Amino acid sequence: MGIIDWATSPWGEDVPVHISFFLLWVSAIAGLLFLIIHAIWVRYFAKAEAFAGATPPALASSIPAKVPRHSLAARLFHWIMAAAMFALLITAFLPKVGVQFPWVTYHWIAGLVLTASILFHIVHASFWLDFKSIWPDKIDLQDGVRRLQRATGKNAPVPRRSGKYPLENKMYHAVIVLAGLSVMITGVFMMSRVRTPIFLRNPYLFGDMTWGMMYVLHGLAGVGLIALIMVHVYFAVRPEKLVITKSMVFGTLDRDHYLHHHDPQRWPVTGSSPEERQMTA
């Protein structure tokens, strides 16, 4: 069974039309397996967290009881994007399992909401937030290797505390960016093939092969988002991660959590860091 379904064009060419439906289940099962394996690992095999270094008492005493983490604009973006993502997945895949409704209209409306939210976030993060804080740096990669070595029983230095975002968050962000931009860009072009009050319908904008590859990329990114969102929700509701989830609701972290997991030198919350200026504006 191939991962791409093909058809013959009026000119006798084999062109891709969409991905095979079974990939939906592959993504869902892969996400479920990850959840099960991770839960077993944490329950029976994972070691207690340990970090090198400690915050000097004078600096620790200057940290506020509630550490600003996400601005109101960032939180609104997150929840609007989340709603649009769920709407897109529901309208894309429920018809595949036999649930019929006017899904095309709901799908492109959710797609426009997702596109607007992503464009807003790109501008907001580039000019009002610390854009570099979400991308891995040298320390992240070094400590990632150390954690892997220690998890496999090898001798390695104790990893240091992270900046605002741990390496795992940064890696997930990079993957979700690729998937999100893929569905967004292809989806905007695909809107030219349906009747909307916004764009003039033009199904001849691209040739059959280009349209086919666009549908395939859109579908692959879409089914990939199933597993990615399953993983994201799973970590959001894990007991040890609830403090992070709450920060996406209320905007702050408790001081004790901040001091234990984050290095004030890498994520300063006193003085005049870009994050602090944004959160206190």
% residues pLDDT > 70 (the chain):
95
Examine the pLDDT at 276 and tell me if it is beyond 70: no
Which of 98-107, 118-127, 144-153 tops mean pLDDT?
118-127
Examine the pLDDT at 271 and tell me if it is beyond 90: no
Calpha distance 262→143 (Å, rounded) = 13
Quick check: 129 and 74 in contact, CB under 8 A? yes
Examine the pLDDT at 116 and tell me if it is beyond 70: yes
pLDDT at 169: 96
Residue reference for tokens 């764009």 = 199
pLDDT single digits (tens) 206-251: 999 999 999 999 999 999 999 999 999 999 999 999 999 999 999 9
Q: What is the per-residue DSSP string for 30-86? A: HHHHHHHHHHHHHHHTPPPP--B----HHHHHTS-SEEE---HHHHHHHHHHHHHHH
Examine the pLDDT at 125 and tell me if it is beyond 70: yes
Quick check: 221 and 23 in contact, CB under 8 A? no
Instruction: Report residue 129 as tokens.
Output: 């937030």
pTM of the model: 0.89
pLDDT single digits (tens) 218-228: 999 999 999 99
pLDDT at 273: 42
Calpha distance 97→115 (Å, rounded) = 26
Q: Give how many domains the chain has, as a whole number.
A: 1
Examine the pLDDT at 72 and tell me if it is beyond 90: yes
pLDDT at 1: 59
Domain extent for 62: 4-280
Calpha distance 163→258 (Å, rounded) = 10
208: domain CATH number is: 1.20.950.20
